[in-house]
Structure 1
Amino acid sequence: MRESQNKKKRFPEIHKANLGDEIFLVARTENLIGKKLKIEIRQAKERQIADKDRPVIFKNQDRSGSITITVGKGTKDKDENGQDYFSKYANANKLENFAWKSFLLRPESDNEFEQWKRTIEDSREKKLYLYFHAEVLDEQDRDTIFINGDKSEGIQNFSNSEGTYFEISDGESTNVLENTNGNFYDYDGLFLSKVTGKKNGLNTDVYVCEEKGDRENTFIGAKKLNTTYSAFINHASTAYGESSVAYNVVDKYEIFAIASVHKRNKVAYGVNSDFAVKFRNLTDVQRSQKIAMKYAIAGEINALLDGTDYSNGAKQWDGAEQTHLPVDKDISSNGRFMFKVNVMGWDITDELYSSWKKLFQINLE
């Protein structure tokens, strides 16, 4: 925030800040002078420092996680000289439709502060995501209208004017890898680049990163995977080949589950399937243009990073034989297939299962 010499108050909108920063929470209103607003800063997307859609409690806030401010009165906070923030500004009469309050982007205790830093560091994108929920406390009229820049969050929930969440980072420099040989992907399985001819790293190295940097051969948040490029592509092709993609059923979590299974069990007959061979024969760019192949790459990344195991610990993976298991009998074989349904670990909707089963039976007859 910047102030001119005549001390006019300015409220430039910000979309992100660092943990520990002091910021101003500003509400612009119409016809609500003197009314109290209650605003909660809530966890967005998924659980990080609070459960999704629950308020985050910052220092000097109400323990419920809310901030109460009065429209037209600014804030009760004092500056370093003990003067009220609102009364010191020459344009105070033009702020009658605003309410604001300054606060710190940090929890009450130093121990919690360190926990929040670890949460940011352990997160995939190295950020916390928040949004704002507003209520009018004083005799709220049924005709009150909330003008929302992000309609997807609900009528009284706000992100910012660009419709994105407010971001908090830990203020430390992001890990940037540059001019290093290797094959680079993002967490969604998208191929970003292959770098060769540099002094650092090997052409066979594989990295996952958040995104490409602005400069050439620069990658943000890069992590080296414990594999080689050939093994990486081979394993991803196996997950693709053993999935139901050949039967027009594309399930991200099935493919992720197969990748996790084959991290524990290296025996995989699907590695020689037509679909696995087709996967390996394509270029990295071509694979990135096919959603199921991107899932296979992302699933292998997830398995190598010990991410969520959607197989629930399965050590084997079965395909066509599952469609022949009688629903009303507890047997181990139908004479052609050995049933291993208890190690499957894959949930599928009834609709997709029926389609999948029909396709398998047609192709196996």
Structure 2
Amino acid sequence: MVSVQTIATIVVKVFKIVLNIVILVLYRTGYNGEFLGVGGTWNLNEEKNPDAEIVASGVIVGYLIYTLVQVVTFLFGTTEHKRALGDIVMNFVGVFLWIAVGAVALHYWGGYQGEHQFQFVFAERQVGLAVGALCVIQGAVYLLDTVLAIIHFTKEQLKLECLYTGSLVTISPISKDFLCELDIYAVTIAPLTEDVSEFGGGARVVWAMSAGDREAEAQAKKGEEGDGNERDSRAAAALKRNWCIGLRITEMILSVIAIGLIVGALYSPQVVQSDHRHIALIFSSYSSYIIITGVLIIARLLGESAGWRTSIGFSIMGFIMFTAAAAVIFYDWHRSYYANLRPNKEAYDLLISSGVFSIINAAVFLVHIFLTFKKEADY
């Protein structure tokens, strides 16, 4: 039977998606149909640092992608990630990121002054304040989801601890291999019934070996592991264990390099023809996946593995986003480079380099999709 916490988690995630889409639409079209932003970076004719918009676009788009992937994974019939440590980390970080973005928006638009001297009510100011308030509310929703994720994680830990409290326990069939490694012998697997918990069918497990038998089997396993280590080199074994996190680290490094190059190029406004849609797409792709891959890497280092369906979802979206960003970069480079009589070669070199790294990262995401689907290995 599905628990109340599971239903609450799904409802909260759907609400987060709806609120995220509302924020994204206002963020993108709140300035009389044009780009609004949280700090007015491109709204006025003034020199400003685009860092606020880079972070804001990454948070808004990145968390929309993350939550959509989570909900789609629910539709595939798996709820393992609801009690994953990675979900706790992502939600916890999201609390601070959303509140920070909302604070920046409220700070800027609260003191905003329009172009007309004797006009005191500005539509863009009201929309900007609304975006800031909604971001703060979104931070509160992420705090609620963090609490729910902690509850799920705690319940899972308690279920695992019960394995050591008695001689007769009920476990998931998926855990059979895990229990065998702990010298537990599963003699029968009970059929699925309505009384079985939401984690799946149960298995009756009994202690069927004496202490001497368990010690002998442990020694035999050590011998088998020693033989396996002799057959396989350490490098091959490490690659087999850590290929997923290696690809995630590569994706994050390429994203950081690409965004560093594009920021330098955008100091020359003629490079992208001041097209806010293109700038938003590029920044959203780069910064959002810096956040997503960073959190996945942190969770993996803490010993948590995301499901392979969830990992494929992130990789597919990453491939699409970085391919689109590269296409926009190459289009802007081709359109504006030959249109300028005296183009800034340094800026265009930075722009095209960012596009190349975006293509490379898209290829890495594609390789990640193929390997994950082929092996069906948890990240």
TM range (shorter): under 0.3
Higher RCO structure, 1 or 2 (CA under 8 Å, sep 6+): 2
Q: Give the helix-richer structure, 1 or 2.
A: 2
TM-score by length of 2: 0.22
TM-score by length of 1: 0.22
Q: Which has the larger radius of gyration?
A: 1
